[in-house]
Amino acid sequence: MIKFEKVSKSYPNGFHALQNINLNIAEGEMVLLTGHSGAGKTTLLKLIMMIERISSGALFFQNKNINKIRRNKIAAIRQEIGMVFQNAKLLTDRTVYENVASPLVINGYKPAEIKKRVRAALDKVGLSNKENMLPIALSMGEQQRVGLARAVINKPKLILADEPTGNLDPQLSAEMFQLLKEFNNVGVTVLIATHDLPLIATMPYRILTLRQGNLIGTQNAVNLITETA
């Protein structure tokens, strides 16, 4: 699904955000990406989302070298990726329903299909009774779940989550992870960037650790916690 081949990313000021990354994420896999602040987690996600381009190496998404994709084709690739942001990034002047529906509106779905899918997605994240509310009336946990519903509404092949539990308490964080696991269970590839070590320690998934832009390998959660402490 995703393949990094000797990928490096550096900035004009000489900062090397990622160095010589080799990584392979299989279809249907759930992978956790961790590391300290500034380790390069968000940069890695940005490269997959083509918010930024790699400096060297090759990056494949579904066997397509996305670094060679032209600017006007980026939107089509992004439509296959569901993005969950740290602070939900909901449109504050739109209702929950409208927020979740936006990827479908972009793709030209008919209202009946939009309604069917939005209702199902909101039902899945437990917010079907709040579809007419504005985001401001929701708690952080609810906002994050709306963000997740929006991310999955277009049936993405990949979900990228950037610190999805960053603003949530432990219980809400666990619920969020549970939802992501459920989507993974139906075959969606999930890549989560997080530094919520106590939570990921309980998970049986592959954990990738970044340190100063280098991928220092796959670790199990217990080793990771010991090392970080």
Question: What residues make contact with another protein under the rule CB under 8 A?
Answer: 42, 45-46, 49, 51, 72, 75-76, 78-79, 81, 83, 85-86, 89, 91, 102-103, 106-110, 113, 116-117, 120-121, 123-124, 150, 152-155, 162, 182-183, 185-186
Of all helices (H) and strands (E), which one includes residue 190?
strand 189-193
> For tokens 């992501």, what's the residue?
180
Query: Which residue, among 200, 22, 53, 98, has the nearest Cα to 190 in the 3D structure?
Result: 200
Rounded to 5°, angle at Cα 48 from 40 and 69: 135
Provide CB contacts within 8 A for 171, sequence distance 6+. Answer: none
Residue 191's alpha-carbon distances to 20, 108, 119, in angstroms, are 19, 27, 25
Contact 147, 90 (CB under 8 A): yes
Alpha-carbon distance of 168 to 121, in angstroms, equals 21
Contact 39, 210 (CB under 8 A): yes
Contact 108, 62 (CB under 8 A): no
Secondary structure, 3-state, 155-192: CCCEEEEECCCCCCCHHHHHHHHHHHHHHHHCCCEEEE
